[in-house]
Amino acid sequence: MSNPQYIDILFDENTGETIIKIEGLADDLCDATAKKVMKQLGITDAKVVKTASHEGGDGAKRTQSIG
Amino acid sequence: MSHMVKGNTSFTEENKQLLIEALETAYNGSKVELNAQANISGRPLCDIVVRRNNGNDVGFRVRKDGTYECLTYEPGYGNSQNRINEAMKPVYEPYNRAVAKKMIKDTPALSGWIVKKETKEVEHKGKKMKRIRIQPGGGGGWI
């Protein structure tokens, strides 16, 4: 089974609260993307939660939640 | 008692043009002016001013950290941040969508990725939120 790849921007339109969820990217790209998304969206006090992390060429996936 | 209120936003100066476009989308028909005085109590000078059709301007000033503070009019005794949130409600979606597109454009590793057209309502930890999804083009989103 292949892994899904996506970046979700979740936002509460009543408060502006924003959460980023990154799924299925390789580790290095995941970190770089997380930083870029946070910067672009002006998220300065984000908490990064790694819900899964795998390394190696095994079709690995990685998820980060930022919010 | 009516008065001016101000509050923080996460909009950044780096994305000024995206914010202007999002404001034009959110407040369709309103004029957006740069470096102008907002028609709010005290007529503050702002970097961006939205001349809303209802006569209540919304102004934005850059803060030291590069984010914008928002200034608007409070007709009663309301809470500042609540009033700001209410004014910003229609802006978040076009702004986040524009930022997502810019991020794809600026990130070679995301070449060929797309921002899905629809914004979905989702639940996150019991809270209703809206979701903009970025995924590889071609409709799959799977590797």
Q: What is the pLDDT of residues B73-105, one digit of tens each?
A: 877 666 778 888 888 999 999 999 999 999 899
B129/A12 touch (CB, cutoff 8 Å), yes or no? yes
Give the span between the Cα atoms of A27 and A66, in whole angstroms.
15
Q: Which of B11, B92, B142 lies at the smallest CB-CB distance from A4?
A: B142
In the β-sheet with B45-51, what is the strand arrangement from edge to edge? B3-12, B67-74, B58-62, B45-51, B31-37
Q: Which of A3, A32, A42 lies at the smallest CB-CB distance from B10?
A: A42
Window from A6-10, A41-45, B110-114, B129-133 with minimum mean pLDDT: A41-45
The pLDDT assigned to A60 comes to 45
A52, part of any domain? yes
B-chain residue closest to A34, CA distance: B103
Structure tokens at B140: 């799959």
A40/B99 touch (CB, cutoff 8 Å), yes or no? yes
Give the span between the Cα atoms of B59 and B138, in whole angstroms.
40
Q: What is the DSSP letter of B3?
A: E
Range of the domain at A13: 6-66
Q: List Cβ neighbours of A16 (8 Å cut-off, separation of 6 or more).
A: B9, B10, B85, B88, B92
For residues B116 and B107, the model is more confident at B116
Domains and CATH numbers, chain B: 3-90 (3.30.310), 98-136 (no CATH)
A1, part of any domain? no
Q: How many domains does chain A have?
A: 1
How many other C-beta atoms are found inside a 10 Å radius of the C-beta of residue B124?
17
| Mean pLDDT of chain A, nearest integer | 73
Residues in chain B closer than 8 A to A43 (CB atoms): 10
The pLDDT assigned to B94 comes to 96
Element (H, E) at A38: helix A27-40
A32/B14 touch (CB, cutoff 8 Å), yes or no? no
Tell me, what amino acid is at B143? I
Q: What pTM, to 2 d.p., does this model score? A: 0.84
Residues facing residue A23 across a β-bridge: A6, A63
Q: What is the DSSP letter of A19?
A: E
Interface of B with A in 74-133 (CB under 8 A): 85, 88-89, 92-93, 96, 99-100, 102-103, 106-107, 109-110, 122, 124, 127-133
3-state helix, strand, coil in chain B (%, to 5): 30, 40, 30
- Find, among A14, A13, A5, A1, the residue nearest to B120 by Cα: A13
Where does the pLDDT of residue A8 fall: very low under 50, low under 70, confident under 90, or very high at 90 and above?
Answer: very high
